[in-house]
Structure 1
């Protein structure tokens, strides 16, 4: 384990960008404070990869899905979240940015894991609503895998459904099919 010299102040975007990469931990900044947690386990990573791929393949060409991409929620004080999956405009993704602004994100998916349940269901729920992210979906991998979908209506998230098994949804006029049972299995969804 190496020792890192941390700034003795709230982190800025420059401080954040200068942090060393750490493959064993996942980091975010919340109101200038660095928050570090262990990397998620294998099933969580498999679910994130599958959701990212399925969304990228099924959404309209004007959107792009990314897994574990940095998203700036606020600049002062700095809040940088790293959602499990986000969907942004393809024009933004095609610029190959280091991070995206929350204003360019249409959908965020968080996959619950040990240590993130309260953050995903309470803290990020309110943060994402405040910055106007239209869709927020929370996936729970406990058997049976389930997903709760929220949509921003008049500045607040409303529950648009709780799903298990094969799910058919509409995202911006495009039908999506997700097989929640296949999120952690060896074989991805099949037609």
Structure 2
């Protein structure tokens, strides 16, 4: 349908409703100047971290993922063609995250590697030879970066972190302990710490150069987590978890 700009102005609601059936070409002085068309939401399937039951078999492309990211103020991750909406973390999560970040900052200050906290996009591609073949984008809680030469001209990091830390939330536990574990291992990350606030524990993985589990230790109570990759980087668990507020029974 073709209408002039005056008709559109006088009956905008009418023509807006008609876009459900057809496009509206708008003319001015006999020339086509614009088109009013129906807007279709992109066919993204968001896997909210609290609603994994809505999982779908359709994988989205990296281009679709970037369209979503650029049109939203939310934070997302792309893993194996599925999109995860990142929920806002709880208070205790941030307390412990900041404690670990403080230890890391003091250790790496003046050293070639650098520790960074979320949000920072990390692009991984598993066993593939390049990102385009198996695009994954994650935002770990903490990463240790030793390849700053992999920061591109747009100031985006495109390397592989040497060490990754994830602090579990109830809604992210399955993803962090299974999905991300597999992704980090096969992408070439060398060390992975999973911090469990509820259990006051750290599950500590070291991966081999062949991208397999080389060491797995679960640390609790009075243990000390020590990095095999960075000698001298260690944290006493009692010092870390003493910052968590004691649980109070609900009324």
Same fold (TM over 0.5): yes
Tell me the distance in 2 between the aligned counterparts of 1:6 and 1:169: 45
Tell me how far 1:136 sits from its aligned partner: 0.6
Tell me the distance in 1 between the aligned counterparts of 2:94 and 2:42: 28
- 2:77 paired with 1:19: no
Report the RMSD for the aligned CA atoms in angstroms: 3.0
Q: How does 1:94-113 map to 2 (within 5 A)?
A: 97-102=155-160, 105-113=161-169
User: As a proportion of its length, which structure holds more strand?
Assistant: 1
Tell me how far 1:115 sits from its aligned partner: 1.3
Equivalent pair of 1:167/1:180 in contact (CA under 8 Å) = no
Structure showing greater Rg: 2
Q: 1:146 aligns with which of 190, 194, 201?
A: 201
Tell me the distance in 1 between the aligned counterparts of 2:63 and 2:224: 38
Equivalent pair of 1:108/1:133 in contact (CA under 8 Å) = yes
- Relative contact order, CA 8 A, sep 6+: which one is greater? 1
* Cα distance change on mapping 1:127 and 1:168 into 2, 3 Å: closer
Equivalent pair of 2:191/2:229 in contact (CA under 8 Å) = no
Determine the structure 1 residue equivalent to 2:135.
78
- 2:183 paired with 1:127: yes
Please list every run of 5 or more consecutive structure 1 residues that lacks an aligned counterpart in the other structure.
186-191
- 2:105 paired with 1:56: yes
Tell me the distance in 2 between the aligned counterparts of 1:93 and 1:48: 25
Equivalent pair of 1:109/1:137 in contact (CA under 8 Å) = yes
Tell me the distance in 1 between the aligned counterparts of 2:72 and 2:144: 23
Tell me how far 1:13 sits from its aligned partner: 5.6
Q: Normalization by structure 1: what TM-score?
A: 0.76
Equivalent pair of 1:67/1:86 in contact (CA under 8 Å) = yes
Tell me the distance in 1 between the aligned counterparts of 2:93 and 2:156: 23
Q: Normalization by structure 2: what TM-score?
A: 0.60
Tell me the distance in 2 between the aligned counterparts of 1:89 and 1:166: 27
Tell me how far 1:10 sits from its aligned partner: 2.5
Equivalent pair of 1:29/1:35 in contact (CA under 8 Å) = yes
* Cα distance change on mapping 1:110 and 1:130 into 2, 3 Å: same
* Cα distance change on mapping 1:113 and 1:90 into 2, 3 Å: same
How many residue pairs align between the two structures? 178
Tell me how far 1:72 sits from its aligned partner: 0.4
Aligned with 2:176: secondary structure? helix
Aligned with 2:75: secondary structure? strand
Select between 26-35 and 146-155 the one with higher mean Cα deviation.
26-35
